[in-house]
């Protein structure tokens, strides 16, 4: 993880992480879960170009190999390597970073991906990234997980405007089509999802906005030697539009998509 402390309207003196300890807490979740399956801490160190950029880096390794699946990783700057979520560093603070990673099998017959697109069609704050993760396997009953998160600034009640992460997690896979060719392939999947509205700083769930029973349509392309592309379209339980990551599949800004069949 890269920590960027540059702020055009803030203090121009960089924190030297070699002198001032700053930590990043990494919580690893099953998508949609309320408690992490792993919590890891990484100390921030000066990047090689720190003197001109102020950048820092932190990295961790999981306690062991990750089983095949999709994982939601929430990163937060904290005071020490034992700090609970919300105990921010005295010297540096930031919003939570909520991303996905996917551990995929080495065998064939699956579609998998993790990364982000930019911009998400309705994200209106921060980087405007839309973060995705999925692992899907065909069968008489297809199985897998589809997850997507984007951030908006919204009134959470009483005129209280907050940055909120809209966390979408599949609850079923109804149909799945995988196709390979030309060194790449395509994924098309449908199913049901639930959604949570999570505060971008505290992680608190604004449950009044949450719902389940929505429908998703995922379309993704493994470009092979060309670019990978992604799109997810979401509908409410009554069939009306809820969200579309983009109007059509767009080239991902980071990460990778792999299709094997």
Q: Band the pLDDT of 165: cuts 50, 70, 90.
A: very high
What contacts 92, CB < 8 A, 6 or more positions away?
Answer: 3, 5, 15, 22, 77
How far apart CA 116 and CA 149 sit, in angstroms, is 9
Please state, rounded to an integer, the average pLDDT across all residues of the chain: 95
pLDDT at res. 9: 56
pLDDT at res. 10: 58
pTM of the model: 0.95
**73: which strand partners?**
28, 99
CB atoms under 10 Å from CB of 231, counted, come to: 20
pLDDT, one tens digit per residue, over 113-133 is: 999 999 999 999 999 999 999
pLDDT, one tens digit per residue, over 94-113 is: 999 999 999 998 888 999 99
Q: Which residue ranges make up each domain of the chain?
A: 1-94, 106-261
pLDDT, one tens digit per residue, over 16-56 is: 999 999 999 999 999 999 999 999 999 999 999 999 999 99
Determine which of 99-108, 133-142, 150-159, 247-256 has the lowest per-residue pLDDT on average. 99-108
């Amino acid at each position: 993880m890269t920590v960027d402390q540059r702020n055009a309207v803030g203090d121009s003196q960089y924190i030297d992480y070699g002198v001032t300890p700053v930590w990043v807490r990494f919580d690893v979740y099953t998508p949609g879960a309320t408690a992490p399956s792993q919590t890891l801490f990484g100390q921030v160190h000066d990047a090689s170009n720190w003197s001109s950029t102020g950048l820092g880096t932190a990295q961790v390794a999981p306690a062991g190999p990750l089983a095949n699946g999709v994982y939601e990783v929430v990163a937060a700057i904290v005071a020490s390597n034992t700090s609970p979520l919300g105990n921010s560093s005295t010297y540096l603070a930031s919003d939570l970073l909520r991303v996905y990673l996917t551990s995929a099998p080495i065998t064939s017959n699956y579609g998998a991906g993790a990364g982000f697109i930019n911009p998400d069609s309705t994200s209106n704050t921060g980087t405007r990234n839309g973060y995705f993760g999925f692992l899907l396997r065909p069968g008489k009953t297809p199985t897998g997980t589809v997850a997507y998160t984007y951030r908006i600034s919204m009134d959470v009640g009483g005129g209280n405007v907050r940055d909120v992460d809209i966390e979408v997690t599949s609850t079923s896979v109804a149909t799945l089509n995988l196709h390979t060719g030309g060194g790449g392939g395509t994924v098309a999947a449908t199913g049901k999802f639930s959604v949570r509205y999570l505060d971008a700083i505290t992680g608190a769930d604004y449950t009044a906005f949450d719902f389940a029973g929505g429908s998703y349509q995922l379309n993704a392309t493994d470009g092979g030697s060309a670019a990978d592309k992604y799109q997810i379209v979401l509908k409410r339980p009554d069939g009306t539009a809820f969200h579309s990551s983009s109007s059509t599949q767009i080239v991902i800004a980071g990460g990778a998509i792999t299709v094997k069949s």
